[in-house]
Amino acid sequence: MPATAEEEHFGKLAALLAQEVGFARTLSNATKNGTLGDGGQVIHRPLVTNWPMS
């Protein structure tokens, strides 16, 4: 049975949130380990989606 548009959007959102949590954990671990204070560089990527706004 094919997924509905709502189910597909929910799946994409869940995957996006899981990725963002992973990035947050990586950044948190890096700051705890002091790797950013020694000339390390933080790169921020904006959240961009092409999902329809309803």
User: Would you state the pLDDT for residue 19?
Assistant: 93
The answer to the question of residue 23 being in a domain is yes
User: Would you state the pLDDT for residue 42?
Assistant: 62
Please, what are the averages of pLDDT over each run of 10 residues along the chain (54 residues)?
86 92 83 61 70 66
Structure tokens at 38: 């020694």
User: Would you state the pLDDT for residue 30?
Assistant: 75
The answer to the question of residue 54 being in a domain is no
The answer to the question of residue 6 being in a domain is yes
Domain that holds residue 10: 1-49
User: Would you state the pLDDT for residue 40?
Assistant: 60
User: Would you state the pLDDT for residue 25?
Assistant: 85
For 31, other C-beta atoms within 10 Å of its C-beta total 13
How many independent structural domains does the chain possess?
Answer: 1
The answer to the question of residue 28 being in a domain is yes
Structure tokens at 12: 């994409």
The answer to the question of residue 24 being in a domain is yes
Predicted TM-score (pTM) of the model is 0.56
